[in-house]
Every structure is written in C-alpha cells, then in structure tokens.
Amino acid sequence: MLDTPIRPLLLSRCSINTATLGHRSPIRDVIERVARHGFGGISPWRRDLVGQDHRLVGRHLRDAELSLSGYCRGTYFPGADRATIEANIDDNRRAIDEAAALGAPCFVLVVGSLPERTKDLASARSQVAEGLSALLPYAREAGVGLAVEPLHPMYAGDRSCITSLSEALMLCQNLDPSRQGGIGVAIDVYHVWWDWRLSDDIAAAGRAGRIMAFHVCDWLVPTTDLLLDRGMTGDGVIDVKGIRSQVEGTGYGGFAEVEVFSKRWWSTPEDDVLAACAKGFASI
C-alpha cells in the first residue's frame, strides 16, 4: 500500500481521467500522484498503458486504494472498406480484454464518424451500430460495460456521428431492447450541456439503468480551441453542479470523473493540475 494520507471524503467520489495530466508521465507515477492527492478513482487511457501488463497495473491501482471509473477510449468504428471496419472492431475487442484485465467497470467508446473522403453520415451511423452489436456479447462475457459517449455536434465530421444523449440512448435501446445490460452511456458535460433535452434525457438514462460514466470539466468563454481548451470545473459557463445533481438524482452512484483536454493545463506541473482538479470538484 502506498504511504498516502487518509482520503478526504470530498474527493472519494472524484476520479481523474489520465488525459487530464497530458499523458506526460509513466502510469505508475500517475497512479501514485493521483492517490497522494486523495482522489478516489482513476480512468486510464489506452495510450498510457502501451507495453504494460494490465493485470499488474490493476494490482498497483488496488494497492494504491484507487478504484477504476472506466477505461478510455474506443477505436473509431467506421471505415472506407470492410477490412478496415473489421480491424476496428477487432481492436476494440482487444481493448475490452485490457479493460477486463485492469478490472475496469466500463470501456468508454468515442465511436467515430465519416471515413476520409466520404460524406455518407447515415452509413457511418450504421457502421457504428454494427460494430457495437458485434462487441456487445463479447463485452458482456468479459464483464465490461460498453459506455457510448456522445460528443458535441462540432465533432460530427470526424470524431463522432453520435452527437446527443438522446441519440446514444436510442442506439442502446435498439441494441439492447430487453435491457439485459452491458451497454450504456458516458455523460460528459462538455458535450451535452447545451442540449435543451438534457434533463429529460438524463432522467431517461437513469430509468433505463444506462449511466455508466459521468465526466466533468467546463466550457470557457471565449474558447480558443474546440478540442484543447477545456476549462477546469467551475471556471466556465456549464452548470456542472446542476447536471451532477440530476445525474445522481437518477440513482447513479459512481464517480464524477475529471477529464480536461487543455494545452494550458498540459503545460502546468501535474501536482498543480491535480490541486486545481480538487478545487474545481469542491465547487460542484
């Protein structure tokens, strides 16, 4: 066990997504730093675990008394040809194996969108549904939930053809109409805060038992980079506290996971980033 202070109750429900620290340090160092700051959980990215034994990393997490809130993130499903589509599905299967070895409760999927030089959005959505359908039985057997993360519509051309929580929930319903489970949603406030249907969709996700992950950060005004200028929680215009209250009001008892993509924060010492994460979480 790491020599860490007693974890403050405030941070016991807060998890750190490793992207928040900019993928700068070895995963062992990141685990020790996150634990030392008193956070209750962590969500690693695949890129941070390349070449690692995932079971050993999972053991290190448990030794540090950190829980896993998830594992990020999926390979985009759509492809310009059948071989590419199948390869993308296979890579996501490997990621599910990694998540299971870690002991992660869910695998977060950013599903992708238009392959290069194509404009058929309906086809991209069909390929996403096909890929998820192929993965779902495999994920259920592995004991890893598939958490579909809808992205803000500004990413519809490349990162995700699923651009709202209602669309993600419809996809889950179509793939799991009897609610056997194994597929749900990751709700990231950065991507959904603007949607006038959000309250109703959160309630619907809760009734269906679909909320697998909840990510927090903030939307800065002005925003200088739509990918790499997220704000620390409390620094922007999103009612993160209100959204968190709605999510937890459905019965969701998991972590609020801090996920900040920011050139500013990625050039800040990691201990200072984690201190800012704790301050921001206190505000919600």
Answer for the pair 268, 10: CB distance below 8 angstroms, yes or no: no
* pLDDT(5) > 90: no
pLDDT for 245 beyond 80: yes
Phi, psi of 212 (to 5 degrees): -105, -25
Q: Which pLDDT score, from 0 to 100, does residue 9 have?
A: 79
Q: pLDDT confidence of 7, banded at 50, 70, 90?
A: low
Q: Is the pLDDT assigned to residue 1 strictly greater than 90?
A: no
Q: What is the Cβ-side half-sphere exposure of residue 266, based on CA atoms within 13 angstroms?
A: 15
Residue 236 has a pLDDT of: 98
- The β-bridge partners of 17 are 43
SS3 252: coil
Distances 272 to 45, 250, 261 between C-alpha atoms, Å: 21, 33, 15
Determine the pLDDT at residue 60: 98
Q: What is the pLDDT of residue 4?
A: 44
Residue 157 has pLDDT above 50, yes or no: yes
User: pLDDT tens digit string along 12-24?
Assistant: 999 999 999 999 9
Asked if 30 and 23 count as a contact pair (C-beta separation under 8 A), the reply is: no
pLDDT tens digit sequence for 26-37: 999 999 999 999
Cα distance between residue 239 and residue 59, in whole Å: 36
Q: pLDDT at position 93, please?
A: 98
Token duo for residue 282:
């206190």
Contact of 65 with 34, CB cutoff 8 Å:
no
The fold of the 9-282 domain, in CATH, is TIM Barrel (3.20.20)
The domains of the chain are located at: 9-282
State the average pLDDT for the chain.
96
Beta carbons of 157 and 114 less than 8 angstroms apart: yes
Residues 6+ apart with CB under 8 A from 48: 18, 23, 27, 30
pLDDT of residue 52 exceeding 50, the answer is yes
Q: Which tokens in the block code for residue 194?
A: 């603007």
Tell me the mean pLDDT in the region 40-59.
98
Is residue 3 scored above 50 in pLDDT?
no
Q: Are 1 and 65 in contact (CB under 8 A)?
A: yes
**Which segment of 1-5, 104-108, 220-224, 258-262 scores lowest on mean pLDDT?**
1-5
**Residue 2 pLDDT:** 44
Q: Does 153 have pLDDT greater than 70? A: yes
Q: Please give the Cα distance from 172 to 146 (Å, whole number).
A: 10
Mean pLDDT of 155-171: 98
What is the mean pLDDT of the segment spanning 186-201?
98
> How confident is the model at residue 10, as a pLDDT?
87
Mean pLDDT computed over 222-249: 97
Nearest to 221 by CA among 210, 211, 230: 230
Please state, as a whole number, how many other Cβ atoms lie within 10 Å of the Cβ of residue 239. 14
b (16+ CB within 10 A) / e for 207-220: ebebbbbbbbbbbb
Q: Tell me the per-residue pLDDT of 72-124, one tens digit each, with 9 for 90 and over.
A: 999 999 999 999 999 999 999 999 999 999 999 999 999 999 999 999 999 99
The b-or-e profile of 57-87 (16+ CB within 10 A means b, else e) is bbebbeebebbbbbbbbbbbbbbeeeeebee
Measured between alpha carbons, how far is residue 222 from residues 22, 74, 116 in Å? 22, 30, 30
| pLDDT above 60 (res 6) | no
Q: Nearest-CA neighbor of 105 among 128, 80, 149, 139?
A: 139
